[in-house]
């Protein structure tokens, strides 16, 4: 279970089996709080979306930040890893969905979905479709090559 705290620049990971809390601390001056989190399928990496329009990748074994990714022009609303863990998707108040390479951190593609904010995204179990839920009550399905 992961619990973001409001505007204190930390992510708390509750390790129930060990009865302890691991803290991930950002070293940037975040504007606002953490808006979305997603674990990699292997459980070794966490991605966090932040109101400052960035995405951070975290190594959960070392509690260290791996990288910070930029590309959205408004804050991140939702994040999702593909089932194979090689790519992840981000959705933003800028009304776009972006695909990212986990290995390189490079943006693979970007699509403006609708004229409404995309609040939620999810991959199909086989990773071949990405669903995006928008504020205009529509769901858009994107085939993933």
pLDDT at 3: 47
Could you report the per-residue pLDDT of 23-82, keeping only the tens digit for each?
887 655 554 578 899 999 999 999 999 888 999 999 999 989 999 999 999 989 999 999
- The answer, yes or no, to whether residue 4 has pLDDT greater than 80, is no
C-alpha distance from residue 63 to each of 44, 82, 129 (Å): 10, 22, 31
Query: CB pairs under 8 A, 24+ apart, for 63-70?
Result: 63/22, 63/23, 63/24, 65/24, 65/26, 65/27, 67/105, 68/28, 69/100, 69/105, 69/107
Question: What pLDDT does residue 1 have?
Answer: 45
Q: Is pLDDT larger for residue 15 or for residue 134?
A: 134
Q: What is the pLDDT of residue 28?
A: 55
Tens of pLDDT, residue by residue over 82-130, are 999 999 999 999 999 999 999 999 999 999 877 789 999 999 999 999 9
């Amino acid at each position: 279970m992961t619990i973001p705290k409001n505007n204190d620049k930390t992510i708390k990971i509750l390790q129930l089996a060990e009865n302890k809390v691991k803290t991930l601390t950002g070293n940037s001056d975040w504007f606002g709080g953490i808006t979305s989190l997603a674990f990699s399928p292997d459980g070794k990496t966490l991605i966090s979306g932040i109101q400052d329009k960035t995405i951070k990748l975290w190594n959960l074994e070392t509690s260290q930040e791996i990288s910070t990714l930029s590309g959205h022009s408004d804050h991140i609303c939702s994040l999702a890893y593909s089932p194979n863990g090689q790519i992840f998707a981000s959705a933003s108040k800028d009304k776009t969905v972006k695909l990212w390479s986990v290995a390189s951190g490079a943006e693979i593609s970007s699509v403006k979905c609708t004229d409404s904010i995309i609040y939620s995204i999810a991959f199909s179990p086989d990773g071949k479709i990405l669903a995006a839920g928008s504020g205009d009550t529509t769901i858009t399905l994107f085939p993933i090559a």
